[in-house]
């Protein structure tokens, strides 16, 4: 398994996996398949170009993109000490192999290299026990519960808000 930062040239593979994620797990993402299916590839490529304050990490099995996670630093001066983990997804046939953990560790290592960053936050559906267990094992703690965070097909879904302090390696 190879992990790396995705670049604009990965837009087609990312789009395919992202749309599959939105279809398979509509209650895991605040975006929907319908909102993203018509995003032009050029626009997606532009959005996903890595920058100083954001990146999308991918897990590859050979040439196949099988998992992703995004990291985005807040842009406001008073919030720039925080970054958000978003879009965590591993294709169903690759689950239970530790790929999600590898992606999260990769994102957290990257976050620790960002000057001034002090914490990383994420949100997770309260019904996603596997994801919650993974995040807790990586040091994330719950700091809030938002009832009715998502409305999917007429059903409300609650979300846990989690945070993890950035641990910097001693030099």
> In percent, how much of the chain has pLDDT > 90?
93
Q: Which two tokens stand for residue 105?
A: 């560790």
* 116: region left, alpha or beta (phi > 0 left; psi from -120 to 50 alpha): left
Query: What is the average pLDDT across 73-96?
Result: 96
- Say yes or no to pLDDT of 169 above 70: no
Judged on CB neighbours under 10 Å (0-12, 13-18, 19+), 115 is exposed
Residue 115 domain-assigned (yes or no):
yes
pTM: predicted TM-score of the whole model, two decimal places: 0.93
Domain of 102, CATH number, reads 3.40.630.30
Instruction: Report how many domains make up the chain.
Output: 1
CB-CB neighbours of 128 under 10 Å: 18
pLDDT, residue 49, reads 87
Q: What is the pLDDT of residues 101-130, one digit of tens each?
A: 999 999 999 999 999 999 999 999 999 999
Q: Which two tokens stand for residue 116?
A: 């001034």
Residue 170 domain-assigned (yes or no):
no
Residue 74 domain-assigned (yes or no):
yes
Domain that holds residue 129: 2-165
Residue (of 69, 20, 37, 34) closest to 152 by Cα position: 34
Residue 171 domain-assigned (yes or no):
no
pLDDT, residue 120, reads 98
């Amino acid at each position: 398994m190879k992990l790396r930062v995705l670049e604009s040239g990965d837009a087609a593979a990312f789009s395919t996996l992202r749309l599959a994620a939105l279809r398979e797990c509509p209650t895991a993402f605040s975006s929907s398949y319908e909102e993203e299916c018509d995003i032009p590839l050029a626009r997606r490529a532009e959005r996903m170009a890595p920058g100083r304050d954001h990146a999308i990490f991918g897990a590859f099995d050979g040439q196949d993109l099988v998992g992703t996670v995004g990291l985005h630093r807040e842009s406001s001066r008073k919030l720039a000490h925080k970054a958000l983990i978003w879009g965590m997804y591993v294709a169903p046939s690759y689950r239970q192999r530790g790929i999600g953990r590898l992606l999260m560790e990769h994102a957290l290592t990257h976050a620790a290299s960002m000057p001034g960053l002090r914490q990383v936050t994420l949100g997770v559906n309260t019904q996603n026990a596997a994801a919650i267990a993974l995040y807790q094992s990586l040091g994330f703690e719950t700091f809030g519960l938002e009832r009715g965070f998502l409305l999917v097909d007429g059903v409300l879904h609650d979300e846990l808000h989690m945070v993890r302090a950035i641990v910097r390696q001693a030099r």
